[in-house]
Amino acid sequence: MRIGEVAAEAAVNIQTLRYYERVGLLPPPGRRSSGYRMYGPEAVRRVRFIKRAQELGFTLSEIGDLLALHEQSETSCAKVETRAAATLERIAEKIRDLANMRDALSQYVDACQARRPVGECPLLRALDRPADSAPRVDGA
């Protein structure tokens, strides 16, 4: 299969395939004498695997680990579970961080409803503070 055919079957663009090759997630294909890349049917399966793993929140590095484990027939599922549990914890931490961001921003949105002049806007004032100072919503 040529690169465009793989891209179409896997529902990705050609640049995605080239990127996966550069970062080592997709083995470099053979080339015809004309220089065209020629992929086997395994390439579509592998790209679909990568995309499904991304949908579950795995990073490309983590996906590389999963692919390596997948190719080792003697590997136990426990190793895959360990990789997935680490990803799950990273996602849980991200959710906690996002909840904190949501709560802080919500306080600023509520404070902004006082219809103060822009020079007194609590959000803009907080963003203008040095990074090491704690944000405050009270307008100070």
User: pLDDT tens-digit profile of 45-103?
Assistant: 999 999 999 999 999 999 999 999 988 878 788 989 999 999 999 999 999 999 999 99
Report whether 99 contacts 114 (CB < 8 A): no
Q: What is the pLDDT of residues 13-54, one digit of tens each?
A: 999 999 999 999 999 898 888 888 899 989 999 999 999 999
What residue type is assigned to position 45 of the chain?
A: R
What residue type is assigned to position 61 of the chain?
A: S
Neighbours of 66 (CB within 10 A): 19
Q: Using a CB cutoff of 8 Å and minimum separation of 24, what contacts does 76-79 make?
A: none
Contacts of residue 87, defined as CB under 8 A and 6 or more positions apart, other chains included, come to 56, 57, 58, 59, 62
Nearest alpha-carbon partner for 112 in 131, 125, 103: 125
Instruction: Supply the pTM of this predicted model.
Output: 0.75
Interatomic CA distance for residues 70 and 83, integer angstroms: 12
Q: What is the pLDDT at residue 135?
A: 56
